[in-house]
Structure 1
Amino acid sequence: EALEDYYLGFIALARRMGTGLILESATWRASPDWAQPLGLSPKDLDALNHKAVSLLMHLRESAAAEPPIIISGCIGPRGDGYDPGRIMSGEEAEAYHSQQVAVLVAAGADMLSAITMTNVPEAIGLARAARKSGAPVAISFTVETDGRLPTGEALWHAIAAVDEATASYPAYYMINCAHPTHFANSLEQGAAWAKRVRGVRANASRCSHAELDAMTELDRGDLTELAQLYKDLTLDFPQITILGGCCGTDLTHVTAIAEACLSH
């Protein structure tokens, strides 16, 4: 019921604004390393992934095509979303994520989203697993306050490396888990690689990942400023049409973003 209430708010917003909507399954942490400490068996984990997509399919049916909804199977990193930790090879990452990819696609997800990717090899492995499943995939990179991945790689280099290793299989790229002021200057207007970035899910807070990790209270940031920064981004980079929120954001933030960006 809590999940339904959460999603229904975004469905209502998209309907009011006359936009399409991508609903992400609540499966960002539904992979083996995160399930084992909870005592979940592989079968239990598969069932949870399947249920998460089934819930979204039910909501889409209830919405009756208004707004048009895409169901995305959400996949998170094997490690922490802020810290790459031990970096897998592309082959190891493909093997680790392949079961969740297969279950989400079999459950009916229209596409996959690899969210908070902190390093290139894992993004490559996930893209390859998606390609084997036949499902489109979006790769969303986490960046630090300097606009670089937690591994220190430039965003343009990460996108180029994944495209080169996968024959440009990702449908598009996104940036998430950072404030717009952290990455706006990293994007190059007119650059081919920048045109591959189609979505942003920014943090509400200007704080670094280290600062956010140490906080005991949620930083909701400056909602008005955040919405204006999104608007500036979409004016400079009109291909960025997929807008949402990451750490510290909720429906209130996304509502302000939608209203700001659809006013021009």
Structure 2
Amino acid sequence: MTATTLPQLTSARPFLTDGGLETTLVYVNEIDLPDFAAFPLLDSDEGRGAMRSYYDPYLDLAEDQGVGFVFDTPTWRASLDWGARRGFDAIRLAAINRRAVEFVAALAAERPGLQAIVNGVIGPRGDGYIVGSAMSAAEAAAHHGLQARAFAEAGAEMISAVTMTYADEAIGITRAADAVSLPAVISLTVETDGRLPSGQTLGDAIAQIDTAAPTAPAYYMVNCAHPTHFIDHLDASAGWAGRIRGVRANASTMSHAELDAATELDRGDIAELADTYAQLDEVLDLRVIGGCCGTDHEHVRTVYDRLAGGRVGR
């Protein structure tokens, strides 16, 4: 599959994806996830059962609505540094990334009427809220290459870099995806001022990534931020805004720092979240709809219903 043949970009209706996997498992299912790493759950029957139960309502929703589904692997923390913290060496880590692809592909295969795209997820080397020690693009390509190769070997159809805090890491992941001939999607996160944690604007980051990557990303997304944090910074007339085709927003309007210090789940105002997605859709023509921290299938269903209603007659 190539960037030009990804079905979510040509579908008459937007594809769905899931919500806040880690926050649901931790705060709703009360499963301990050190470092917010869900991938170790693949090593046990109980863990796989918990993830199946998590994904099922989203798959039900996509089936009910007759729309496609971008099926993310639970591998946001399954990279070299984070894997080592969880006791996974490179060999074992590559194996569990492959199993993650196989796991979601098997769940999708149980629903033959559902058009599901298996998406290998790569998270940041840092914590996702701050840049920390930045890598060059070449260093990022080397660091994240293990996951990209594992995804390709296991049959993933695309790769997404999720919660990117600065451009060079995103460029490196795009290069790693290109090296294994998979289309890449870059999902950037922003602070309450609409800028990446690096301080760069969304427009400047997208322009830098598009220019520096050997093959430009298929499209961009924004995740782990509430729409109110960046909607006023979007310019519908700017070419870069048209490159953003998906949003996985947080339920909460809190800043990253506030969320990091929170001890309880903030599910936010679901109706307000849906309304702000509809406002985004007027600017961005969203092709992929999902959620991030604090969201669950109720949020995604409400957002989808709001967007579907708003598109009538468009």
- TM class, shorter-length: over 0.9
- Aligned counterpart for 1:199 among listed residues 234, 239, 246: 246
Correspondences of 1:211-222 after superposition (within 5 Å): 211-222=258-269
- Aligned counterpart for 1:23 among listed residues 51, 59, 71: 71
Q: Which amino acid aligns with 2:142?
A: A
When the two structures are aligned, how many residues end up with a matched partner?
A: 262
Instruction: Report the counterpart of residue 63 of structure 1 in structure 2.
Output: 111
Q: Which amino acid aligns with 2:297?
A: L
Question: Over residues 140-190 of structure 1, what are the superposed CA-to-partner deviations in whole Å (9 max), with x where a residue is unaligned?
Answer: 001000110001001000000000001452000000110000011111112
State the 1:237 CA deviation. Answer: 2.5
Instruction: Report the counterpart of residue 40 of structure 1 in structure 2.
Output: 88
State the 1:135 CA deviation. Answer: 0.0
Correspondences of 1:237-252 after superposition (within 5 Å): 237-238=284-285, 240-252=286-298
Q: Percent identity?
A: 49
Partner of 1:13, secondary structure, is: helix
Contact 2:281–2:307 (8 Å) recurs in 1: yes
Matched residues in 2 for 1:12 and 1:26: separation?
19
Partner of 2:133, secondary structure, is: coil
State the 1:37 CA deviation. Answer: 2.0
Matched residues in 1 for 2:235 and 2:215: separation?
19
Matched residues in 2 for 1:59 and 1:215: separation?
33
State the 1:191 CA deviation. Answer: 1.5
Structure 2, unpaired ranges of 5+: 1-48
| TM-score, with length taken from structure 2 | 0.82
State the 1:235 CA deviation. Answer: 2.4
1:234 maps onto 2:248 in alignment: no
| TM-score, with length taken from structure 1 | 0.97
Matched residues in 2 for 1:24 and 1:79: separation?
20
Partner of 1:206, secondary structure, is: coil
RMSD: 1.0
Q: Which amino acid aligns with 1:254?
A: V
State the 1:236 CA deviation. Answer: 3.0
Matched residues in 2 for 1:176 and 1:125: separation?
19
Correspondences of 1:75-90 after superposition (within 5 Å): 75-90=122-137
State the 1:124 CA deviation. Answer: 0.7
Identify if the C-alpha distance between structure 1 residues 12 and 222 changes in structure 2 by more than 3 Å, giving closer, same or farther: same
Contact 1:17–1:258 (8 Å) recurs in 2: no
1:145 maps onto 2:192 in alignment: yes
Matched residues in 2 for 1:143 and 1:79: separation?
15
Question: Over residues 84-105 of structure 1, what are the superposed CA-to-partner deviations in whole Å (9 max), with x where a residue is unaligned?
Answer: 1010011100100011100011
Structure 1, unpaired ranges of 5+: none
Correspondences of 1:139-178 after superposition (within 5 Å): 139-167=186-214, 169-178=216-225
Contact 2:220–2:243 (8 Å) recurs in 1: yes
| 145-154 or 54-63, larger mean C-alpha shift | 54-63
Partner of 1:262, secondary structure, is: helix
Matched residues in 2 for 1:49 and 1:58: separation?
14
Matched residues in 2 for 1:88 and 1:242: separation?
29
Matched residues in 1 for 2:215 and 2:147: separation?
22
State the 1:74 CA deviation. Answer: 0.3
Instruction: Report the counterpart of residue 179 of structure 2 in structure 1.
Output: 132
- Aligned counterpart for 1:94 among listed residues 141, 160, 163: 141
Contact 1:244–1:254 (8 Å) recurs in 2: yes
Matched residues in 1 for 2:108 and 2:270: separation?
29
Instruction: Report the counterpart of residue 302 of structure 2 in structure 1.
Output: 256
- Aligned counterpart for 1:117 among listed residues 148, 164, 173: 164
Matched residues in 2 for 1:98 and 1:260: separation?
38
Instruction: Report the counterpart of residue 16 of structure 2 in structure 1.
Output: none
Partner of 2:220, secondary structure, is: strand
